[in-house]
Amino acid sequence: MISIENITCLGQEKDDILPMVNVAACFVMEEATKTNAGPGINISLMLMVDPNRPIHRGFFQDNKKKSRNITHTLELTDKKTCFNYSIFMHRCVKDTLSPVQMKLNFSQSDSENAIGVLNMDSKRNATVDVPFVKHCDKEICIPDLKVDFRFTSDEVLVTENNGFSVLITLDNIGDDSYNTSLTLHYPPGLSFSKMEPTGVISNPAY
């Protein structure tokens, strides 16, 4: 499962790249015909992250190059062989409700000259969903959001080149909330300057 502890879309760190989850691609090989040559074949493997989404959340990183696909040519010599891969994500992941899908395709890369040949009935692909961690044991998490705001000074004087601050408190006393948005409306005579997060309370609204 993918931890959401380091995921945030606030501040300058939202574009940071973090290793989020490790996946293992494992192959089990059984010899269908008994020979003296011994098992051993070369395969071409492709792993894809979020293959059905136009914008993928996870990616592989090699020499600072990011890609949703990775392709390797590997040799299978043992009965069971596993290969490990790290999936990276930006710190700001907006969709943490739907799982990240991993798809694997493989084929034999040298079947014409190989001593061992991959069985035509062998399964050549696999798909697995990697969910994000939920902080509730229910099938459906039910948040309980409350919002409050106040001016930081007792008097608000609206003049030219003058400013004032509004303190907004968003609290969640229920289960985790995802894709939460907060909209502040203000008169056209005012202009928005900046927003600064002042702290995070337990049971956050993601």
Does residue 4 surpass a pLDDT of 90? no
Please state the separation of Cα 172 from the chain's center in Å: 23
Do 145 and 16 contact (CB within 8 A), yes or no?
A: no
Does residue 204 surpass a pLDDT of 60? no
Mean per-residue pLDDT, 171-179: 81
Q: What is the pLDDT of residue 47?
A: 94
Do 148 and 168 contact (CB within 8 A), yes or no?
A: yes
Q: What is the pLDDT of residue 39?
A: 59
Q: How confident is the model at residue 88 (pLDDT cuts 50, 70, 90)?
A: very high
Write the DSSP symbol of residue 177.
B
Q: What is the pLDDT of residue 62?
A: 80
The partner residues of 132 in beta bridges, in order of sequence, read: 2
Domains annotated for the chain, with CATH where assigned, are 12-130 (2.60.40.1460), 135-206 (no CATH)
Cα–Cα distances in angstroms (integers) from residue 128 to residues 4, 67, 75, 103, in the given order: 19, 19, 23, 7
Residue 88: name the closest of 24, 21, 23 by CA.
21
In degrees and rounded to multiples of 5, residue 155 shows phi and psi of -120, 140
Do 46 and 123 contact (CB within 8 A), yes or no?
A: no
Measured distance CA(144)–CA(184) in Å, rounded: 20
